[in-house]
Chains A and B, each alone.
Chain A
């Protein structure tokens, strides 16, 4: 537990989460979600849960972004609302 890292990472995660749900473009939302998962991995490993951080890293960097983009390629990019 490193207190200053903790506060800063939480702040950045919050920024990423708000941006990911408020952006209109689906592809941009997927990309910001990638940044969210990077910072989430940092948060897990900072709290000492190395195995969870490893899972987060491999799933998000290897599969998650690719699967979401493949799903976006089957739909329209812009959301209606």
Chain B
């Protein structure tokens, strides 16, 4: 599924489509509170754009853009954003993920603080979902074996 094949039409069309898919995914994440969508859906669409790049451009170029190490870091950092906002609310003396208390830091009214807190949480969810979806597809399609690693192994022993 990840081998590079010589189809110029699909590659060029994917190259043109991918930035628009990504900006649409970010639109879905950012406008989650007053239109359908949110962190999970936007993350899935963002992950689909990277999967499209992996399918059309082959394993090697896709790893230069989004490697499995980067995916791991992204998924962890998204979770860090989510739980960090929750813990911040806990430290400020209210319940976990009770964003109203964030108004003490952000110097705005509680309603606006809730909106900003939800936005932060959705960004975290989106990053995590994107990275996890990409790495699930990466692991299934390569079977955990990357050609470079095999060559290195053969050279070593």
CA distance A70 to B37 in the complex (A): 26
Closest B residue to A49 by CB, please name it: B36
Q: Counting CB contacts under 8 A, is A66 at the interface?
A: yes
The chain A residues found within 8 Å of chain B, CB to CB, are: 50-51, 53-55, 58-59, 61-63, 66-67, 69-71, 73-74
Q: Which residues of A contact B133 (CB under 8 A)?
A: 63
A58-B45, A67-B137 given; name 14 further pairs at CB < 8 Å: A50-B36, A58-B28, A61-B48, A62-B44, A63-B133, A66-B48, A66-B55, A66-B137, A67-B136, A67-B140, A69-B1, A70-B137, A73-B1, A74-B140
- In whole Å, how far is B95's beta carbon from the nearest beta carbon of chain A? 24
Contact of B141 with A by CB under 8 A: yes
B contact set with A: CB distance below 8 Å: 1, 28, 36-38, 40-41, 44-45, 47-48, 51, 55, 133, 136-137, 140-141, 143
Contact: A70 with B140, CB < 8 Å? yes
Residue pairs across A and B with Cβ atoms less than 8 A apart, 29 shown, are A51-B36, A51-B37, A51-B38, A54-B36, A54-B41, A58-B28, A58-B45, A58-B48, A59-B44, A62-B44, A62-B45, A62-B48, A63-B47, A63-B48, A63-B51, A63-B133, A63-B137, A66-B55, A66-B137, A67-B136, A67-B137, A67-B140, A69-B1, A70-B1, A70-B141, A71-B140, A73-B141, A74-B140, A74-B143
Complex contacts, B143 vs chain A, CB 8 Å: 74
B44 touches A63 (CB 8 A): yes
- What are the residues of chain A within 8 A of B141 when measuring CB–CB? 70, 73
**Which residues of the partner chain B approach A51 to less than 8 Å between Cβ atoms?**
36-38
A58 to B45, CA, bound (A): 6
CA distance A51 to B34 in the complex (A): 11
Is there contact, CB below 8 Å, between A54 and B37? yes
List the 6 shortest-distance A-B pairs measured between CB atoms, nearest first: A62-B48, A54-B36, A70-B140, A58-B41, A50-B36, A58-B44
Instruction: Report which residue of A53, A55, A58 has the largest number of chain B beta carbons within 10 angstroms of its beta carbon.
Output: A58
Q: Which residues of B contact A70 (CB under 8 A)?
A: 1, 137, 140-141
Min CB gap A47→B, angstroms: 14
Complex: A50 Cα to B80 Cα, angstroms: 30
